[in-house]
Amino acid sequence: MSFTTGFVVFPNLTQLDFTGPLQVLHRLPGATTHIVARTREPVPSDGPLTIPPTVTFAERPPLDLLCVPGGFGVDQAMEDEETIAFVRRASAREVCDELLHRRVHPWRGGPPPREARHDALGLPSSPAARRGDSGEGARGP
């Protein structure tokens, strides 16, 4: 079974928010990972690490999971319409994101519920809807 993950990178992201999940997800059997950015120019983190994208927003393949790390650059990334548009149209089954937690709703005390994040992207929010079934009759009476 293959599983394709894309990591959106932007200037001043926190490298650990990016490299931690990358390290884990890249080791899954059948995993393919892509580092996605506006261009293929190296992207500076909020530390000494510079991240080389493997694909651009326009080049990225279909994804099973889209991860958007956090960091000091999130506020600027939230203002970048090209980045927000990419995240909205990315064909991922799930979106793991710091960027949209803050863009969708200015929730206090934590991220918004998954349904709010998925609604803002136009993605189905329930597990049944993500699988493409109505859920009727799936569990019986």
- Residue 64 has a pLDDT of 87
Q: What is the third-level CATH fold of 3-131?
A: Rossmann fold (3.40.50)
Tens of pLDDT, residue by residue over 13-57, are 999 999 999 999 999 999 999 999 999 999 999 999 999 999 999
Please name the amino acid found at residue 102.
R
Considering just the CA atoms, what is the radius of gyration of the chain in Å? 16
Q: Strand pairing of 43-44 and 50-51? A: antiparallel
Decide: helix, strand or coil at residue 47.
coil
Band of residue 84 on the pLDDT scale cut at 50, 70, 90: confident
Residue ranges covered by each domain of the chain: 3-131
Q: What percent of the chain has pLDDT over 70?
A: 64
- Residue 116 has a pLDDT of 52
Band of residue 139 on the pLDDT scale cut at 50, 70, 90: very low
